[in-house]
Amino acid sequence: MALYQEQSLKLYNSMSGEKEIFTPINEGNVGMYVCGPTVYSNVHLGNCRTFISFDLVFRYLKHLGYKVRYVRNITDAGHLENDADSGEDRISKKARLEQIEPMEVVQKYTVDFHNILNKFNNFPPSIEPTATGHIVEQIEIIKTILENGFAYEANGSVYFDVIKFNKEHAYGRLSGRAIEDMIANTRELAAQSDKRNPQDFALWKKAEPQHIMRWPSPWSDGFPGWHLECTVMSTKYLGEEFDIHGGGMDLKFPHHECEIAQGEAATGKSPVNYWLHANMLTLNGKKMAKSTGNFILPEQIFTGENDILTKAFSPNVVRFFILQAHYRSILDFSSEALLGSEKGFNRLMEAYHSIDDLPFSGKTDFDLNAWKQSCYDAMNDDFNSPIVIAKLFDAVKTINGIKDGTVQISEEDKTELKDTMKAFMFDILGLLDGASEKENDEDKLAGTVELLIKLRAEARSNKNFALSDQIRDQLLELGIQLKDGKEGTSFSLK
């Protein structure tokens, strides 16, 4: 029996606003689509939070024994500066500013995106399609939507007719917006606009003469609308109806709302059964975003080269920090929060690595199975990673109790305890074993101290005893004691 048949997983469905028991369309198989990045700049930590959150979802579904097809796109065309179908293509603008080809921009920032997620120990998706790789399919679905009467062509561009669609369907139900309110709160269209209604959105845009990225179509040389690529790629690889669609909370409207409308207009079917949305990461009390300049890059955290944090933090600690909050809750980024996460992470790893040396007896005087199921219960409750982490710290208390003799455990249960902690810490939460990281840090420390010992020896040979003493005394203040002997100078940690 597969593990998913023993565990009852509930997901918070943004469409219903409730937690629902997860039942995939095809038993044992899950189709999941997550909106990927627009690759015109370095991925910031707020973006990474979304992808780490869905990596957790991917990992747990696989752990339960599901065969998961995880599709996450790369947007490399069609994403304009303004959601109202105006402004310049973000990638084209970057290419113009840097005086390089648009695909050079795409390559540069796609490589950065992959490198950063690899450092966070994210699994790659099953399929990672690009918008430019699916221009033909996007043109074909536009033809279908036109034939079904839910779009119109105007001066070489094609727009989705939201008002007409809403007469037969319910546009806005995911984000909870009524079309009447949208109309009431919308200004009149500019005289030069080709749209019939302000709520309409582009399926295809005619390229202006200066627009670099363009493709031939039945309507004009142009490019697809931003929302269209996700409808095309999700249905191509997962079918007209699939299980899970994920993304950041900010994509609910208009992006995901438009995806639903396009899918229903093309096929007559609601494309997604469960909509999942990850909440934002805040910095200085405000949403982390490139557009406002209120963001920090992961590499700046790893190197410590920033004006926000007191020190550098490893990708492992940052991932742990992110998972200490539920994916649907707002998470505030600060130096204090990361310092607390680092302390907790090290404590968790230390306890895990001490299990092999624990004494065992002929019995176990605590309910190991109940604790193990409580870990699953947390994950089954809409992937509640902070509760899972709290349960792991309950295990840390138990381990400390076994060490001091107040708790007993059998040899068999000791193995089960370690296997369960390993499964949740590494396989599900996606943390990396901190032992190798600690060894690497110790190597760096030893190398740094050896360098200072050499500098001190040079200072002494040059009779610069003031500098020699300064190096010794300041190292001592940091808890590093030097000891001079016949074989040279050694050091120890106080």
Which residue positions form the known binding site? 35, 230, 255, 259, 290
| DSSP for 91-110, written as a single string | HHHHHHHHTS-HHHHHHHHH
Binding-site residue numbers for Zn(2+) are 35, 230, 255, 259
Collect contacts of 259-263 with beta carbons under 8 A, ≥24 apart. Answer: 259/227, 259/230, 259/231, 259/234, 260/173, 260/174, 261/150, 261/160, 261/162, 261/165, 261/169, 261/171, 262/141, 262/145, 262/160, 262/203, 262/227, 262/228, 262/231, 263/231, 263/235
Give all strands of the β-sheet with 331-333 in edge-to-edge order: 286-287, 281-283, 331-333
- Residue 352, phi then psi, degrees to nearest 5: -60, -45
Other Cβ atoms within 10 Å of 446 Cβ, number: 11
- Our separate counts of H helices and E strands in the chain read 16, 17
Residue 384 C-alpha from the chain's centroid: 15
Binding-site residue numbers for ATP are 290
Torsion of CA 226, 232, 234, 235, to 10 degrees: 150
DSSP state of 16: T
